[in-house]
């Protein structure tokens, strides 16, 4: 018996969705990295010395949070790129636990998903 898989037309639809999401995610990632570097931002040199320590602490925390967001964004991009590999291998959309097809609605919402809702719930229990 053949393993379940999506048709080439379905895979093409998912490829287009994923490629758009990758482009947006990379743009957002680059924006985050630019903000972390902050070469053109306002600096604290023109503020009163009293506020300098507070400003530096706030700036440090913001950069740390932005760095964490950038790391999550990079993980998201890697997940999407892995999904493109699964499309090439024609294994995209197959739950890695149950072996069944993940519903199209789920894949449209979370295109890098590798688990069906059923498998995800079992994993969380």
Phi, psi of 66 (to 5 degrees): -65, -35
Residues recorded for the chain? 125
pLDDT at site 93: 97
Q: What is the pLDDT averaged over residues 6-26?
A: 97
pLDDT of residue 77: 98
Q: Answer yes or no: are the C-beta atoms of 90 and 9 closer than 8 Å.
A: no
28-87 pLDDT tens trace: 999 999 988 875 555 544 444 545 544 555 666 688 888 999 999 999 999 999 999 999
Q: Is the pLDDT of residue 124 over 90?
A: no
pLDDT of residue 84: 98
Within 10 angstroms of residue 95's Cβ, the number of other Cβ atoms is: 20
The pLDDT of residue 3 is 80
Residues in Cβ contact with 122 at an 8 Å cutoff, skipping those fewer than 6 apart: 97
User: What is the pLDDT at residue 46?
Assistant: 47
SS3 90: coil
Q: What are the Cα distances from residue 14, in Å, to 18, 57, 98, 101, 110?
A: 6, 44, 21, 14, 11
Q: Is 37 exposed, middle or buried (0-12, 13-18, 19+ CB in 10 A)?
A: exposed
DSSP string, 14-31: HHHHHHHHHHHHHHHHHH
């Amino acid at each position: 018996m053949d393993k379940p898989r999506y048709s080439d037309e379905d895979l093409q639809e998912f490829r287009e969705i994923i490629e758009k999401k990758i482009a947006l995610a990379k743009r957002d990632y680059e924006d985050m990295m630019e903000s972390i570097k902050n070469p053109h931002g306002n600096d604290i040199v023109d503020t009163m010395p009293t506020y300098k320590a507070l400003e530096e602490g706030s700036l440090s925390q913001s950069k740390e949070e932005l760095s964490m967001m950038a790391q999550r964004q990079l993980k998201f991009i890697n997940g999407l790129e892995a999904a493109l590999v699964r499309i090439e291998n024609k294994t995209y959309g197959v739950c890695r636990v149950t072996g069944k097809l993940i519903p199209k609605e789920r894949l449209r919402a979370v295109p890098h998903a590798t688990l069906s809702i059923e498998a995800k719930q079992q994993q969380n229990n």
